[in-house]
Amino acid sequence: MKYLVRPLLLALVLSLSGCGWLAGASGHIKKAEQAMGQGDYNRAVIELRGVVEKDAANKAAQLLLVRAHLQRGDLEAAQRALDAAAKAGATPVELAESRAKLLGYQGKLDQLLADIDAGKSDLAEPLRSLYRAHALLGLGRIAEAQLGYETLLVKEPALIEARLRSADAHAMLGRTQLALQQVDLALQTDPKSAEGWATRGGLLDVLERFDEARDARQKAIGLAPGQLSFTQYLALLSNSFMTALQGGDLQTARNVYKTMQGMTPGSPLVRLYASEIALAAGDVSVASADLTTLAGEVPDFQQVHAALITALLDKESFELALRQVDELVKASGEDRRAAAARGPIRAAAAAAQGSVERAVASASAQVLMGEPHIATRTLDAALVKYPDSADLAAGRIALDLQARRKSDALKRALALAESQPDKALALGMLAQAQVASREYAKAVDVYEQLWKVAPTADLAVALSRAKRDAKMADSPEPMRRWLQTKPEDYAVRLLLADAEATAGNPDQAQADYERILRAKPNTVIALNNLAIIYGQRKDPRALPMAKRAYDITPKAPVVADTYGWLLAQSGAAQQALPLLQAAVKGSPALPEMRYHLADVLARTGDREGARSMVLEALRGDEDFFGRDEALKLRDSLTKQ
């Protein structure tokens, strides 16, 4: 018996060892899942690598590793993990969604769409329809994507991802309210959707509901770990950081920075934001030293150069600031903002130390560098020394308007106008603040006062727009008033012609466009818009004029739409089709273009495509020229 004990004991030891390893592998996978749920994708990868290095055939670990790499944004590692998972026995169906995601992240949307349509993707429903719509959306075929999402949501109303991407499609088509409705439905289904709250924040920004947008982003940040990918989470935090910093909320910026520091310690972005906080707090020497080091380490990081230029301006190191502008222009090819900053930096250097002119010029350059909060500090410091300076007050009002602090801007503008009622600058800032606050009728009165002091072309245009927004009669009149003394101001005449057409005065608009073209025959906007007027009047000059505009700027969506529509009206629908498709792709938010494309799709035999496109054109309550005809087209296409 004693000779039998040793083999049995060895077998028992091996068996127990194997069970221990299996239990260990299971434990590592469980820890990885927990790390994934907490958003710690790096720790998840470490746990899973420990498993697959000892057991490459562990399918569960390999599949989870694919997900972890995708969430980290490491696409090469995700591809290797996909291949390893396939070797470990993962079925094509088990791998299908990860493959689809990887193709999307790689920008291979044409391939993703082709694979799905050819039945090569192995995606099961509803994922097949979901990723097909994703591919269409990414390729700019927004109306088709929207139809795909809506069809899917009829069957799967709780599919949050479809609803959120449907919201994205609405937003791309300019339908912000409809997009918000979709997001709110998604959040009713899942109130803890980080992506839902992040999307809601972006839409509320567009609607200028800024406090609600900030709160939505904060909810998204709180829910993000384990839901958003590393890249998505970092982008959300970065947006929140800059919003807080530029809004003067330094404490919130610091809190967001700490979170980012925990995610990616020592990264250039985190080091940049540490310097931004120091700069905002007034630690200019520390900020400029750190930014100088960082700019040398990552010379292509444009935001670092912009922050460094701002810091150098704060220190009044103008020559060094100009050198950094040159570096920024070199790194970015030709950064227009940086190039534009050269003028005010040179003006600041030439101005007397401590003067109003130096403060205004420095602040102007800081705004161009994307650091309006530092410009605010520059102007506030100067206002302490020169409290009666209209230039400083005007600059401060402009910064409030840029930061969307409308009530602050209006309050400052009223005070400036009261203290200096006869100054054109004070009146101009007051009118701008009133327009921003939607006090259009009051702005008209102020603009009229300003006209008596200093009539200009810009003032004529601003006054016309304020009258239009106040819904006053004959809003184009101020531009006509200007042109009585400056008849050769074709820039204003072009705006006047457009305003006349919009106001329902086609005869006057036609006369103005024709006058412009006699003096400047290659003015594309005049050619395009006059072709539209001619087309509406069945004038045979319409089509050749539209072609002239198209030949000059064939890539302009509005011009391609005009030429394509007039071609279709002349009977050349097949020739018009690619022009109208390109126009809709380039400018998908315009319903009139979608109606034109729908009409031509119907004429060329694609009834289903036409029906989808005309329904998109008519969605919502936006009015457009041709809406009645679009309704008739919809009715004809929906009849059996």
Mean pLDDT over 511-515 rounds to 96
What are the DSSP calls for 190-242, one per residue? -TT-HHHHHHHHHHHHHTT-HHHHHHHHHHHHHH-TTTS-HHHHHHHHHHHHH
Are 195 and 228 a contacting pair, CB within 8 Å? yes
pLDDT tens track for 20-29 = 444 578 888 9
Are 218 and 240 a contacting pair, CB within 8 Å? yes
Q: Is the peptide bond before 7 cis (omega within 30 degrees of 0)?
A: no
Gap between the Cα atoms of 452 and 463, Å rounded: 13
Residue 379: predicted pLDDT: 96
The half-sphere exposure of 173 on its side-chain side, counting CA atoms within 13 A, is 32
Gap between the Cα atoms of 99 and 92, Å rounded: 9
| Residue 370: closest CA among 412, 328, 406 | 328
Give me the torsion for CA of 113, 115, 119, 121, rounded to 10°: -100
Residue 251: predicted pLDDT: 93
Residue 523: predicted pLDDT: 95
Task: Write the secondary structure of 281-342 as one string of H (helix), E (strand) and C (coil).
Answer: CCCHHHHHHHHHHHHHHCCCCHHHHHHHHHHHHHCCCHHHHHHHHHHHHHHHCCCHHHHHHH
**In the predicted model, is pLDDT for residue 207 greater than 80?**
yes
Domains detected in the chain = 1-90 (1.25.40.10), 554-640 (1.25.40.10)
Gap between the Cα atoms of 71 and 75, Å rounded: 9
Residue 6: predicted pLDDT: 44
Mean pLDDT over 482-509 rounds to 94
Gap between the Cα atoms of 512 and 495, Å rounded: 10
Q: Write down the H helix ranges in 554-625.
A: 557-569, 573-586, 591-603, 607-618
pLDDT tens track for 226-251 = 999 999 999 999 999 998 898 888 99
pTM of the model: 0.79
Quote the percentage of the chain above a pLDDT of 90. Answer: 78
Average pLDDT, the chain: 91
Six token digits for residue 225: 């770990």
At residue 335 the predicted structure's pLDDT band, cuts being 50, 70 and 90, is: low
Are 366 and 378 a contacting pair, CB within 8 Å? yes
At residue 502 the predicted structure's pLDDT band, cuts being 50, 70 and 90, is: confident
Specify the amino acid at residue 635. D
Residue 585: predicted pLDDT: 86
CA R_g for the chain: 31
Specify the amino acid at residue 180. L
Are 73 and 43 a contacting pair, CB within 8 Å? no
559 contacts: CB under 8 Å, gap ≥ 6: 524, 528, 546, 549, 550, 553
Are 130 and 121 a contacting pair, CB within 8 Å? no
Least confident piece of the model among 143-157, 380-394, 592-606? 143-157
Mean pLDDT over 243-265 rounds to 91
At residue 195 the predicted structure's pLDDT band, cuts being 50, 70 and 90, is: very high
pLDDT tens track for 311-327 = 999 999 999 999 999 88
Q: Write down the H helix ranges in 38-158.
A: 41-54, 59-72, 75-87, 92-105, 109-117, 127-138, 142-155
Are 516 and 526 a contacting pair, CB within 8 Å? yes
